[in-house]
Amino acid sequence: MFRRLVFLLLVITALLLLPGCESTAQKGAQRTAMNNAIAAEPKGAYFVGRRYFKTEYRFWGYIRQSGEPWSSAKLVLINESRKHVPDRERAAIGKDNNFEYKLFGNFTGETIYEPASNAFYPEFMLTGYELLTETPGPIFRETGATDPKRRIIPKPY
């Protein structure tokens, strides 16, 4: 009787742990596919931006050079004097949170103070953009990192 109870508990525990393994494997596969796609990008031809909307902050999101990993991305403020950011053009601020864009423009060399985070961020002069995907792969380790209401600012990995 005791052996059956132990066996039953082991089976239940295994069944509870399997979904976690599956989601971890799925995330790993997504990450591998994303890294392969990044490696295939033409280096230096454009920038890739991931919109990172946070209710409390005024930065735009993370930008990396094409062909470079997300770990090299910079959290930026965008200068919209030449071109408005996508969500402002559609009058839907933050509705494109976690969307990925091909961005055209350049870093101005200026740093801008963002008071809510009490930090300085590089300025990017936007001249154009194209939507790449509304459902990109994960670039953050932290659970809930893309939740606009959470006051965390993780770095991509």
Provide the residue ranges of all domains of the chain, joining segments of one domain with +. 1-40, 43-133
Q: What is the pLDDT of residues 71-110, one digit of tens each?
A: 999 999 999 999 999 999 999 999 999 999 999 999 999 9
Q: How many CB atoms lie within 10 A of CB 62?
A: 21
> Is residue 50 within 8 Å of residue 100, measured between CB atoms?
yes
Where does the pLDDT of residue 140 fall: very low under 50, low under 70, confident under 90, or very high at 90 and above?
A: very high
Compute CA 139 distance to the chain's CA centroid, rounded to the nearest angstrom: 5
The Cα–Cα gap between 103 and 64 comes to 10
What pLDDT is attached to residue 3? 54
- Give the number of C-alpha atoms closer than 13 A to the C-alpha of residue 5, restricted to the C-beta side: 2
Whether the pLDDT of residue 7 is over 80: the answer is no
Could you tell me which residue, 45 or 148, shows the higher pLDDT? 148
Average confidence (pLDDT) over 140-146? 93
Could you tell me which residue, 4 or 60, shows the higher pLDDT? 60
User: Rounded mean pLDDT of the chain?
Assistant: 87
What pLDDT is attached to residue 42? 86
Phi, psi of 36 (to 5 degrees): -65, -40
